[in-house]
A and B are shown apart, each in its own frame.
Chain A
């Protein structure tokens, strides 16, 4: 793989995907730091993985099945109490649909 250049446009694009609002100073610093880290992880290119399958999980249980049964949660009010803004039984969000 060709050496990847981490530029401001890429940092901006990734920040948008990650839902982060970076200050100019933060973006500049991340550009340098990510470039260094991405350069370091580039050493994985030395490995021939053409016949290697990826490991996604190491648990031996696979995906166990169970009945899909609703269970009442006694902590409903406590859950809602943790919300920074709420109204009645609802989490409050800014208007999404005009």
Chain B
């Protein structure tokens, strides 16, 4: 059980709120106090919405007292600053948008709003979600709550650190190549990347549209289930969004995992994985096996091509998506007396180094003379990578692996070499290329006390089974250690 109100899980807080043992205002105040006390060091937030949050909490208390409380009524949540909230600055971690105030709510934000959630603020990220450490933010890096000399992972590093540090009860992030799961693993929290199309992308500032997906970062699988249920489902404003009905994920937690065939891909346990990470993940697989899951060896033979395919496809899509930053309708504008200079100067002033690098790489991959050899080749490789998963899921129900080959790395350790940073995404990226759901779960700590993440990958639309397995794993005795560094 938690010590302070902000330490609570959503599930615990919900019960106390409904029984009127605590108020939403008290709960929100506890989070805001924790934010005020820890932010100077952590830098998890770009914008804190104290006034708006207090008003939302008062509204929530009125609903709770009237006995008419929607599922997340009064629950304080943090939002990655790539999701739009009407009237609240949305920077995407970029100086090009430092004064951009969106005139509309993202669909996920509107849904959380109608579910009664309280928005504490907007969390830090790598600029336009491009990065694996949150060091690419135009607003300074977020630090890892377990060791302030290390990164929280990225790109949803602010959301992961905020949940780990109990600044909020849960958060939303986005995952294009691992951006929910890897920071969740580095910060020892639960992170779910839903199936592509499960959650609307309307109001999610686009990075790579065929890969981007919104999902929860939370303190338990049960909390992730509550959040996913609130945000998932068809949206007329996102044509790619699936019309499949949204299951009751919370009810689904109760089932058994006995007999679930757990695929262990040999390509994910070979060279390059830290021995301590490997040991913790293997122990987690044993624990699931002890509960009745059946391990089976599987192979994903094209795994080694995933990073190459991803960094061509994602950057190509990014180069098109980021063409909208032209200094005309929003964002930074540099002085110029013709339109070409206006575009060039505004973009060059507003974008950071990694964003420019990815725009350059993507533009190259799409340009005449190189399109077939790079972009088209990557899309074909994507087909092979996707097929690997379809083949593997003939033999198993879920796949188990590490989230990341290492625990959190040091600040500045990989910033001088972009390719080394890209290679750290080796275990998360193929999932996005396949459009699959995957759950990151804390599964232990290395010798330095840094969290290790277990990744469970499922077939499309298997979130119910993923969350059930995650919930079962949590019940078998693993408990989250609160970060001591703060």
Contacts and interface: CB of A to CB of B under 8 A. Distances in A.
Interface of A: 1, 10-11, 13-15, 17-22, 26, 30, 33-34, 36-38, 40-47, 49, 52-61, 63-64, 66, 75, 78-79, 81-85, 91, 93-96
B411 interface: no
Interface of A is mostly: loop
B357 A54 contact: no
A40 B419 contact: yes
B356 A47 contact: no
Given A34-B361, A41-B311, A55 B382 contact: yes
Closest 9 CB pairs of A and B: A58-B435, A54-B379, A78-B103, A84-B333, A75-B103, A49-B380, A21-B344, A41-B308, A18-B363
B104 A14 contact: no
Given A58-B434, A61-B242, A93 B342 contact: yes
Given A56-B210, A82-B329, A37 B197 contact: no
Chain B interface mostly helix, strand, loop or mixed?
Answer: helix
Q: Which of A33, A64, A94 has the most CB of B within 10 A?
A: A94
Interface of B: 86, 100-104, 196-197, 210, 236, 239-243, 302, 304-305, 307-309, 311-312, 319, 323, 326-333, 336-345, 347-348, 351, 353, 356-357, 359-361, 363-364, 367, 373-374, 376-384, 386, 418-419, 422, 433-435, 460
A47 B384 contact: yes
A42 B326 CA distance: 32
B357 A33 contact: yes
B328 A22 contact: no
A20 B348 contact: yes
B386 A37 contact: no
A14 B367 contact: yes
Contacts of A37: 311, 361, 418-419, 422
Counting chain A CB atoms within 10 Å of each CB, the highest count among B339, B341, B381 belongs to B381
A26 B373 CA distance: 26
Contacts of A14: 360, 363-364, 367
Contacts of B359: 18, 20
B240 A30 contact: no
A3 to B, nearest CB: 12
A9 to B, nearest CB: 13
